[in-house]
Amino acid sequence: MALIQLRGLTKLYRMGDSIVRALDGVDLSVDSGEFVAITGPSGSGKSTMMHVLGCLDRPTAGEYVLNGQRVSDLSDRELAIIRNRYIGFVFQTFNLINRTTALENVSVPLFYARQANTRAAALEALERVGLRHRAGHRPSELSGGERQRVAIARAIVNSPVFLLADEPTGNLDSRTGEQIMQVFHALNAQGVTIVLVTHEPDIALQARRIVQMRDGKIVADRPAEEFVRSGEIPRPATASHVLLAPDSPLAAAMPNGDRSPTYDALPPRMMPGANTALGCGVFAIVAVLASMCIGMLVPRPTPDQLAVAAKPPTSLSVMVLATAIAMLLGIISGVVAIFWAKGVMRRIRTEPGNWLGRGRARAGGLLGWLVVGFPVLSVAYGIVSRMLAARG
Ligand code: ADP
Ligand code: MG
């Protein structure tokens, strides 16, 4: 069963004496899990369609069936509940509240849904768009791309069934727009149905299906690759920024042929901090090993020598001091490696992108645990073996 079903949908606006047919008998069906792009010239009815789909506006005529429910049968109160629980909306102009923090902006829908623990859910939504570390910032302290990611976090905080985005990359440069598309691809891969309005061909091509509108009507509705094959949408000059699903039929049609980028095969990047985690881990283990080596080199004075000497020779104290310092540095660096690696792994999990550095972070963390765990284990072993010896 289709998630969204429109039949003969019509929306009229009265402008003085004339009537504008913003939507003129639209039939459309969107299945759960789809990623659909809606394109068309300015004034063709795209925004009106999004408002009706998002239950922000009621159609003049026609039928809208959402998840098996006729939307026209619902009261305003029921519509508000459907909007809040099932639908996420992302606008071109972000529409954030400037007076409050990112966290509070994301919490707004939870507040309307009367949820108790808004903080945890809002933080999780921010984490899904890679912005947990900006939770306390106000919109004015964020870049355009970050603001739009906050808006997306707000749209997904109630785990909506589908996400409507009206020109979400329209106010952003292409590099930032790419990051926003990454977030949409990641959400779609997690099962969220996405309907996105855009006038940028390279953005539309990233959807599996493109719906073209003109004068309030749908004039074309086909898989993305057919638009490229027929020449209706020009083949992108460079494929590097067109993110496609790994199984997209369009991947092979891209300019760089079989090397065309897919969503999963984006140019991989090293997650910042992965090298630091590994470096700290390696330093920690080297420092501890050095400490043990110096410790072994320290000559053990015989009881006779100890009895004669009033205090140990200076060289001996220096060596003992060096052992202690190396051990301490190693353990501190090991603790840093553990926490650093944790942070890196979390960012790799939550920030959209094709990240490298899992292995490095893991190795760094493991070395950290070895270094921190080894002295603890050896002390514990010493205590236990002494206790056993005392008993036996
Ligand atoms: P698009 O998003 O594709 O640019 P819109 O859906 O915003 O198109 O608008 C479709 C048509 O409906 C346009 O002719 C527009 O002028 C008209 N329209 C949209 N909203 C209103 C409104 N609130 N009152 C009157 N006319 C409107
Ligand atoms: Mg519009």
pLDDT digits (tens, 9 = 90+) for 83-118: 888 899 888 888 899 999 999 999 988 877 777 778
Identify which of 48, 91, 166 to mutate to test ligand 1's pocket (most ligand atoms within 8 A of the CB).
Answer: 48
Kindly tell me if the per-residue pLDDT of 259 is higher than 50. Answer: no
As a whole number, the mean pLDDT across the chain is 86
- Any idea which of 197-211, 254-268, 278-292, 354-368 has the lowest mean pLDDT? 254-268
User: Distance, CA 248 to ligand 1 centroid (Å)?
Assistant: 33
How far is 325 from 337, CA to CA, in rounded Å?
A: 18
**Which ligand 1 atom minimizes the distance to the CA of 197?**
2
User: Distance, CA 226 to ligand 2 centroid (Å)?
Assistant: 25
**Which ligand 1 atom minimizes the distance to the CA of 213?**
3
8 Å CB contact between 50 and 36: no
User: Distance, CA 47 to ligand 2 centroid (Å)?
Assistant: 4
Q: Is the CB of 107 under 6 A from ligand 1?
A: no
Which residue's alpha carbon is nearest to atom 20 within ligand 1? 48
User: Distance, CA 197 to ligand 1 centroid (Å)?
Assistant: 14
Burial of 378 (0-12, 13-18, 19+ CB in 10 A): exposed
pLDDT tens, residue by residue, 315-350 = 777 888 888 999 999 999 999 999 999 999 988 776
Kindly tell me if the per-residue pLDDT of 73 is higher than 70. Answer: yes
Q: How many CA atoms lie within 13 A of 392 on its CB side?
A: 6
Q: What percent of the chain has pLDDT over 90?
A: 42
Which residue's alpha carbon is nearest to atom 27 within ligand 1? 13
8 Å CB contact between 98 and 138: yes
Kindly tell me if the per-residue pLDDT of 136 is higher than 90. Answer: yes
Overall size of the chain counted in residues: 392
Residue 192's pLDDT band, with cuts at 50, 70 and 90, is: confident
Sign of the alpha-carbon torsion through 265, 266, 271, 274: positive
- Any idea which of 128-132, 237-241, 281-285 has the lowest mean pLDDT? 237-241
**Which ligand 1 atom minimizes the distance to the CA of 41?**
3
How far is 387 from 195, CA to CA, in rounded Å?
A: 69
Q: Is the CB of 18 under 6 A from ligand 1?
A: no
Hey, what are 359's tokens?
């292995």
The highest-confidence range among 12-16, 119-123, 127-131, 214-218, by mean pLDDT, is: 214-218
User: Distance, CA 107 to ligand 2 centroid (Å)?
Assistant: 27
Q: Is the CB of 43 under 6 A from ligand 1?
A: yes
8 Å CB contact between 53 and 29: no
Q: Is the CB of 47 under 6 A from ligand 1?
A: yes
pLDDT tens, residue by residue, 374-391 = 878 888 888 999 999 988
User: Distance, CA 75 to ligand 2 centroid (Å)?
Assistant: 26
Q: Which of these, 350, 302, 326, lies nearest to 128 by C-alpha position?
A: 350
Q: Is the CB of 46 under 6 A from ligand 1?
A: yes
8 Å CB contact between 159 and 87: no
Q: Is the CB of 42 under 6 A from ligand 1?
A: yes
Sign of the alpha-carbon torsion through 255, 259, 265, 270: negative
Q: Mean pLDDT across the stretch 57-66?
A: 93
CA distances from 255 to 234, 238, 243 (A): 11, 6, 13
Kindly tell me if the per-residue pLDDT of 10 is higher than 70. Answer: yes
Q: Is the pTM of this model over 0.85?
A: no
Q: Tokens 């909506």 map to which residue? A: 160
8 Å CB contact between 333 and 285: no
User: Distance, CA 60 to ligand 1 centroid (Å)?
Assistant: 14
Residue 290's pLDDT band, with cuts at 50, 70 and 90, is: very high
User: Distance, CA 165 to ligand 2 centroid (Å)?
Assistant: 11
Question: Which pLDDT score is estimated for 68?
Answer: 87
**Which ligand 1 atom minimizes the distance to the CA of 48?**
6
Which residue's alpha carbon is nearest to atom 22 within ligand 1? 13
Phi and psi based region of residue 62 (left: phi greater than 0; alpha: psi -120 to 50; beta: remaining): left
